[in-house]
Amino acid sequence: MDGSKAKGDPLHGEFNGMPCGKLGKALVSRLVFDGSPLVGNVHSRDLKYVQRLAQAYQTPECLQETLRLAEAHGVNAVVIHTAAGVVDWLQEYRNKHGGKMRWIICPTANVTDDMRAYRDACKMLRDIGADSIYLWGGHGDQLGGVDLGGGRSTPRPDLIAKAVEAAKDVGLPAGVGAHRLETIKCCEENKIPADYYVKTLHSADYPSVNIGHDNRWSYTPEETIALMKGVTKPWIAFKVMAAGAISPRDGYTYAFQNGADFCLSGMFDFEIAEDVFAMNEVLALAGVRNRARPWIA
């Protein structure tokens, strides 16, 4: 990873006007497309209709246009998991429509002692043109010894290491995803050679933060910020808007001021221009450019 730039300069280059950082050898936009809404995976608290609405809205044509709009506005990478149909429409966008988006993909295959299914998934993703592979956050939490709801189990750093190794064995950069900080601690304490982390970060400053129903993903933001100050690997922050409860401007500002190198942003097509505008304004703030944690990527 390239940590040679000045502490106060998040610009390693740009893509269609968007400041970029380095993830491995790749130039990646500071705003990365969170692909979850593209597959209808939206967090809606206790509202029953929202997921069906998102799934109905995201027609195949809408998916392709959404990626095209994002790329035109400077977003050159998408983070997504291997949900049903994802591989097909990603390939369609790249091969049929000439899309240049980089693919940062987490396999949903189980991580087991024999690693057969996970290794096969990594090979498949390499073969279709994925640019990077990371351990899915849900799996990362479990293997780190705590699930999203706080349930405890025995950590399995050996399996986290095997997942990282499986991605590296197919020649791709390897990351680890997590909602819970215990997973990052597990990786750092056991010197697991991940190339980057995908870790939640958002403040608790929104009305539904304590309802206890599909509403919170960063349980220890202050501890996360403190720990990540000493981590010398790139950090892709996700759930920075607490799944729509925090404005893009506030979410990006909080994440970047507190050390994130990239922000994931789930966006519908009609949100892209506004979110990109907010991102570029945030990246120009003195408090972001001159933050405490150096720009690692």
Residues 43-70 pLDDT 10s: 889 898 998 999 899 899 999 999 999 9
User: Where residue 5 falls among pLDDT bands split at 50, 70, 90?
Assistant: very low
Q: Is residue 199 part of a domain?
A: yes
Domain count, the chain: 1
Q: Which domain holds residue 220?
A: 14-289
Whether 105 shows a pLDDT value over 60: the answer reads yes
Q: Considering the domain boundaries, does residue 2 fall inside one?
A: no
In a domain, 294, yes or no: no
pLDDT tens by residue, 204-235 = 999 999 998 889 999 999 999 999 999 999 99
Looking at residue 6, its pLDDT comes to 43
Whether 277 is covered by a domain: the verdict is yes
CATH at 34: 3.20.20.100
Domain for residue 241, yes or no?
A: yes
Q: What is the dihedral of CA 237, 239, 245, 251, to 10 degrees?
A: 10
Residue 205, domain member (yes or no): yes
The upper half-sphere exposure of residue 231, i.e. CA atoms within 13 Å in the direction of its Cβ, equals: 31
**pLDDT at residue 84, as a whole number:** 81
Q: Phi and psi of 133, rounded to 5°? A: -130, 135
Kindly state whether residue 22 falls inside one of the protein's structural domains: yes
- Whether residue 13 is predicted with pLDDT greater than 90 in this model: the reply is no
Confidence at residue 205, expressed as pLDDT on a 0 to 100 scale: 94
6 lies in a domain? no
**Predicted local distance difference test score (pLDDT) of residue 85:** 86
Q: Which helix (H) or strand (E) holds 168?
A: helix 157-169
